């Protein structure tokens, strides 16, 4: 899992069928610090919330090191998306982390002798008329991944661990998953493959029930939605200061990203990191100066960065970061200062967010993405702005983070293996 900017997906959804047979729908996304969010703490100031977010981003990057096949970066409620979905018949509501860095959909289930503390009611599979375990002999058992096993009851069992050491183990099953759309009309996805967790632990919040994997693998919710997603989803993230504004998570034909300013870059396919959306950044430029982005042997297959809507900062190799950040620093007229939270390195004094910045462009393979001020800097205190980039350690995987994606409609097309960017005002969508 790998996301640091908790945006909460309030999802209970409808699929719309167009006259030509296309399907699509949209759901509401709410920032974790929005007053609409169950995570909202009215006693905290904006800068307290931001400091907590940046702390989570840095801790996450330390966890996203060279991972073996069975691990993925962690998207938890302290740093990423939450989806409100329902499982079973009758529908039982759960609040789960939406994780674009892993595949399996799982929730804690009764009985759960080794579960982390959960304040919300826990799913009881015995009360769902559509819940069915997957036997070890079923081809669907393969979706549980390489760490799957077989219980003494011949039940297929999944086992998944994440980059920060969190894990979940339990029965692999099928059940009806229900979501809701902005129209308020629910839609059910029968026989969705899910994990029923009886042993889970880690950095999960007490009001989170599990994880909804949105990665590239076959157990991800995206391919399991079939024609309702058609392998496509998109989102539009509002800047930090607009946390009260809702964003949208779009599926299927509603996820189309096209029109003026749209650029696309290929998703790189990696056998080792097949759950991630891996891309290739060729260079980044500051003004007229272009800085070559290092290759990444860890990702392989021509990829050197993971795009992650959950990680707040953009994490780049340390040597590149020093050169790139210095070029930006030399191009602005603000005085350097210290980050009061001691998280970020390149910080400047300013009384407002309206200051001149150099042109900064990310040169993805086949797609030049010009960044705006809100993609490059973050205001961490009333009179301090900092560069929203950070150098990773020698073992870290580079991550194209949340702030860099603000005010872009970002679309994923798994069928065509591409990610598209379109500059927009997300608060107006």
Length of the chain: 429
The single residue of 33, 171, 308, 339 carrying the catalytic annotation is 308
Say which residues have a Cβ less than 8 Å from residue 33's Cβ, sequence separation at least 6.
Answer: 6, 39, 40, 44, 46, 49, 53, 243
Structure tokens at 54: 């940046």
The single residue of 33, 77, 99, 230 carrying the catalytic annotation is 99
Among 247, 253, 175, smallest CA distance to 10 is for 247
Structure tokens at 306: 């993971």
Inter-CA distances, 25 with 12, 39, 248, 290, 327, Å: 11, 26, 10, 40, 43
Q: How far apart are CA 412 and CA 103, in angstroms?
A: 15
CA 242 to chain CA mean position, Å: 19
Residue 348: which H helix or E strand, with range?
strand 347-349
Q: Is 242 a catalytic residue?
A: no
Pairing mode, strands 132-133 and 167-180: antiparallel
Q: Is 308 a catalytic residue?
A: yes
CB atoms within 10 A of CB 155: 18
Among 228, 219, 224, 232, smallest CA distance to 146 is for 219
Residue 375: which H helix or E strand, with range?
helix 373-376
Judge whether 77 and 39 are in contact, CB under 8 Å.
Answer: yes
Say which residues have a Cβ less than 8 Å from residue 252's Cβ, sequence separation at least 6.
Answer: 15, 22, 23, 24, 25, 227, 228, 229, 230, 232
C-alpha count within 13 angstroms, C-beta hemisphere, residue 194: 32
Q: How far apart are CA 197 and CA 214, in angstroms?
A: 18
Judge whether 414 and 276 are in contact, CB under 8 Å.
Answer: no
Sole residue written with tokens 């069915």: 132
Active site amino acids: 99, 308
């Amino acid at each position: 899992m790998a996301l640091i900017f908790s945006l909460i997906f309030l999802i209970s959804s409808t699929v719309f069928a167009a006259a030509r047979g296309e399907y699509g729908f949209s759901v509401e996304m709410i920032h974790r610090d929005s007053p609409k969010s169950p995570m909202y703490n009215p006693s905290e100031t904006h800068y307290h919330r931001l400091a907590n977010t940046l702390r989570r981003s840095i801790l996450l990057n330390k966890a996203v090191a060279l991972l073996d096949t069975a691990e993925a970066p962690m998207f938890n409620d302290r740093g990423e998306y939450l989806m409100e979905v329902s499982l079973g018949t009758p529908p039982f509501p759960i609040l789960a982390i939406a994780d674009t860095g892993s595949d399996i959909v799982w929730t804690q289930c009764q009985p759960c002798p080794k579960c982390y503390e959960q304040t919300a009611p826990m799913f009881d599979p015995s009360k769902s008329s559509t819940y069915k375990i997957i036997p070890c002999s079923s081809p669907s058992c393969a979706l549980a991944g390489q760490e799957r096993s077989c219980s003494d009851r011949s039940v297929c069992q999944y086992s998944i661990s994440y980059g920060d050491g969190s894990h979940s183990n339990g029965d692999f099953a099928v059940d009806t998953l229900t979501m809701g759309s902005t129209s308020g009309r629910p839609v059910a996805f029968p026989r969705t493959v899910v994990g029923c967790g009886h042993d889970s632990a880690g950095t999960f919040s007490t009001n989170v029930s599990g994880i909804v994997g949105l990665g590239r693998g076959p157990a991800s919710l995206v391919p399991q939605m079939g024609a309702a997603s058609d392998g496509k989803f998109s989102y539009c993230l509002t800047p930090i200061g607009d946390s009260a504004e809702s964003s949208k998570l779009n599926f299927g034909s509603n996820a189309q990203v096209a029109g003026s300013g749209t650029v696309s870059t290929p998703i790189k396919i990696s056998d080792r990191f097949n759950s991630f959306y891996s891309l290739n950044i060729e260079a980044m430029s500051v003004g007229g100066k272009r800085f070559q982005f290092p290759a990444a042997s860890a990702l392989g297959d021509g990829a050197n960065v993971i795009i992650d809507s959950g990680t707040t900062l953009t994490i780049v190799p340390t040597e590149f970061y020093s050169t790139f950040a210095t070029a930006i620093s030399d191009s602005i007229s603000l005085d350097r200062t210290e980050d009061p939270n001691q998280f970020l390195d390149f910080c400047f004094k300013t009384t407002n967010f309206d200051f001149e910045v150099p042109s900064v462009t990310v040169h993805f393979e086949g797609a030049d993405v010009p960044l705006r001020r809100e993609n490059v800097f973050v205001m961490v205190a009333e009179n301090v702005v900092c560069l929203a980039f950070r150098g990773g350690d020698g073992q870290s995987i580079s991550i194209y983070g949340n702030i860099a994606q603000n005010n872009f409609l970002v679309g994923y097309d798994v069928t065509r293996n591409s990610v598209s960017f379109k500059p927009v005002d997300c608060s107006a969508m």
